Amino acid sequence: ELKVEQNPLFLSMQEGKNYTIYCNYSTTSDRLYWYRQDPGKSLESLFVLLSNGAVKQEGRLMASLDTKARLSTLHITAAVHDLSATYFCAVGPELDMEYGNKLVFGAGTILRVKS
C-alpha cells in the first residue's frame, strides 16, 4: 500500500527566510504533485513532477523529485506572508495511468509566514 509522509507538519517562518518541505513515499511512482490549500478552500495545483531529477520553479517555490530516494522537496525562498497556506504532496501510482491517477496525499504542511 502506497504511503506518503510529509514533514514538517507545521512550519512557522519569518518573512525573508528559506525553508524546505519534504515528501517521502513508500513505493515506486513517477508522478508527484504539489498542491496548495487556503483555509476553507479547494486544492490549487502547484507542480506536477514526472521524472527522476525533475525540477520546477514558480516564483518563490521550487519543487524537485528524486525517484530513487522516493523523495520530493518543496523549497521556499525568501518567504512572504502570502505563501501562508497548507501544502500537500500527492503521489500517483503507476496503475490506472491511462485513465488518470488515484492520488495518495500526505498529511499536509501548515505554513505560517510571520512578518
Partner 1 sequence: DAGVTQSPTHLIKTRGQHVTLRCSPISGHKSVSWYQQVLGQGPQFIFQYYEKEERGRGNFPDRFSARQFPNYSSELNVNALLLGDSALYLCASSHRQGYGYTFGSGTRLTVV
Residues that bind partner 1 (CB under 8 A): 4, 31, 33, 35, 40-43, 45, 48, 88, 90, 92, 96-108
CB of 96 to partner 1, least distance (A): 6
Contact between residue 110 and residue 99 where contact means Cβ atoms under 8 Å apart: no
CB of 101 to partner 1, least distance (A): 5
CB of 92 to partner 1, least distance (A): 7
Is 15 or 96 the residue whose CB approaches partner 1 more closely? 96
Which residue(s) pair with 80 in the sheet? none
